[in-house]
Amino acid sequence: MADPRRRNPKDRGGAWFVDSTCIDCDAARQLAPGLIEADAEGLSHFTREPRGPEEERAAWLALLACPTASIGAPRGAVPPEGLYPHEVAPGVFLTGYLSERSFGASSYFVPRPGGNLLVDAPRWSTRLAEALRARGGIAHVLLTHRDDVADFARYAKAFGARTWIHETDRRAAPSATDLLRGEREIAPGVRAIPVPGHTRGSVCFLVDDRFLFSGDSVHWSRELGDLNVSPDFTWFSFEEQTRSLERLARAASFEWVLPGHGGPGRAPPGEMRERLLALVERMRAGQVREAW
Ligand code: SF4
């Protein structure tokens, strides 16, 4: 629970606040842009009190997402019902309840006629599990790589779901039922595309040739208004990641990128491909900088 005695000094002393336990995962700023911003150290604070129901809802979304419970609400206030899952693209929902173990990586719920998907996993929340059950539960847990697995095993067990991860990242998910090697179809309209680089076993999941769940392999930067990667957080090989993204640009068509870190981004498929190829060129030229 957030501690008002440890509030970020940049907070204005209002009823909403962020305390000093913030780990700069950026999730709150994606969910409540303009209302929650970063200070010079990258730690979040409220720029002002929420105005009206929409901004209050954004503040509650951030509070329930925060992996470190760093966000405080007005004393006695309770969150509205049904905040999560929260739709961020047509038919694609953020789960909230991020995990500190995955440094606040986003995970997504995707209802599908052939069985619902959970892409990467949040921390366990009974409230979230009940909300997902009310929407038909989970048939497949799709893990983009070893870092963002959080409490996948509890969700998989609770819903009897199959769990997919690339075989070279399998140590993060020993209970996985299905190991990925090459590119393959997991379910109708759901394709796994290995993209080694961030980790050796990184995978993107492409749904309906429209939604690319990209884990930590590529993200949409609010700062740049463009696709970007993170050289500082590439654990396996930046050169391999460059080659992987070039292959991805030629093999996949998508309109939305839905990453673990960084916000969702949207552009027409042709433009997305051009942006991805331009990013590959910047990677080859050493012209990429950290930008979220
Ligand atoms: S979600 Fe929590 S930890 Fe992440 S940036 Fe916001 S306040 Fe900080």
**Rounded to the nearest whole angstrom, what is the distance from the C-alpha of residue 19 to the centroid of ligand 1?**
9
Half-sphere exposure of 246 (CA within 13 A, CB side): 11
Atom of ligand 1 nearest to the CA of 104: 4
pLDDT of 190 over the 80 cut: yes
Nearest alpha carbon to residue 108 among 189, 212, 192, 248:
212
Q: Read off the tokens for 74.
A: 């007005």
What's the fold here for domain 88-284?
A: Metallo-beta-lactamase; Chain A (3.60.15)
Ligand 1 atom 4 nearest Cα:
25
Does the beta carbon of 69 lie inside 6 Å of ligand 1? Answer: no
Does the beta carbon of 32 lie inside 6 Å of ligand 1? Answer: no
Does the beta carbon of 61 lie inside 6 Å of ligand 1? Answer: no
The pTM assigned to this predicted structure is 0.95
The pLDDT assigned to 263 comes to 86
Q: What is the mean pLDDT of residues 207-227?
A: 96
pLDDT of 136 over the 90 cut: yes
Q: Rounded to the nearest 5 degrees, what angle is found at the Cα of 90, between the Cα atoms of 204 and 234?
A: 25
**Rounded to the nearest whole angstrom, what is the distance from the C-alpha of residue 67 to the centroid of ligand 1?**
7
Ligand 1 atom 7 nearest Cα:
22
**Rounded to the nearest whole angstrom, what is the distance from the C-alpha of residue 117 to the centroid of ligand 1?**
25
The H-assigned helical ranges of the chain are 27-31, 52-65, 126-134, 152-159, 238-251, 269-284
4-72: CATH number = 3.30.70.20
Check: CB of residue 217 under 8 Å from CB of residue 181: no
Ligand 1 atom 3 nearest Cα:
22
Cα–Cα distance, 223 to 230 (Å, whole number): 13
Q: Which of 26, 31, 60 to mutate to test the pocket of ligand 1 (most atoms within 8 A of CB)?
A: 26
Domain spans of the chain? Answer: 4-72, 88-284
Burial readout 53-69 (b: 16 or more C-beta within 10 A, e: otherwise): eebbbbbbbbbbbbbbe
Say which residue the tokens 């409230």 belong to.
Answer: 127
Convert the pLDDT of each residue in 239-268 to its tens digit.
Answer: 999 999 999 999 999 999 999 998 899 999
Nearest alpha carbon to residue 27 among 279, 281, 264:
264
Does the beta carbon of 35 lie inside 6 Å of ligand 1? Answer: no
Helix (H, G, I), strand (E, B) or coil at 194: strand
The H-assigned helical ranges of 40-189 are 52-65, 126-134, 152-159
The pLDDT assigned to 1 comes to 85
Cα–Cα distance, 223 to 29 (Å, whole number): 12
